[in-house]
Amino acid sequence: MEENNLGLVVVTQGTQEETAVFCAERIPGTLCLADPTRSLYRAYGVGRGGLRETFLSAEVWRANARAAKKGFKAELPPKGQDAMLMSALFVIGPDGRIRLPYYYDHIADHPPVEVLLSGFLGTRWEQPFNGAIHSEGGAHGD
């Protein structure tokens, strides 16, 4: 990302103090923003999941089992934060426009590496946005 002059911003629903501690422990050196009122979440269309996307998802249980094998454990968010709030990832161009939105299907979801590499590194940021990002083989569904 640095080689391509790209940055990362993480938005949490914690307070400024909680966000500072979280980011210092887990992603030091990353720009982190606190959004305890969840206004950015609403503005970007990130909503709450149901039980199927959060606690009852087979994918979530499998991800928690993989994490446990690596020494991590699932934790509820701190008091005042919404455990049902979904996550999303956005690639935003230098013009401020969203170039790649990725809304998680469940709370253990992560975008495929190919999508990120195509979205981050496969985009000519100096050119205007002309359509969806897709692989060299053609548009999705071709």
pLDDT tens-digit series, residues 82-119:
989 998 888 777 777 777 788 888 888 887 777 777 66
Mean pLDDT of 61-85: 87
* CA-based nearest residue to 111, from 129, 135, 87: 87
pTM: 0.70
pLDDT the model gives residue 15 = 94
pLDDT the model gives residue 41 = 92
DSSP 120: I
- What's the whole-number average pLDDT of the chain? 80
CB 134 within 8 A of CB 117: no
Instruction: Provide the token pair at 140.
Output: 């999705």
pLDDT the model gives residue 124 = 62
CB 53 within 8 A of CB 105: yes
Output b/e per residue, 75-96; b: 16+ Cβ within 10 A.
eeeeeeeeeebbbbbebeeeee
Alpha-helical (H) ranges within the chain are: 16-26, 39-43, 58-69, 113-116
* Domain spans of the chain, in order of start: 9-121
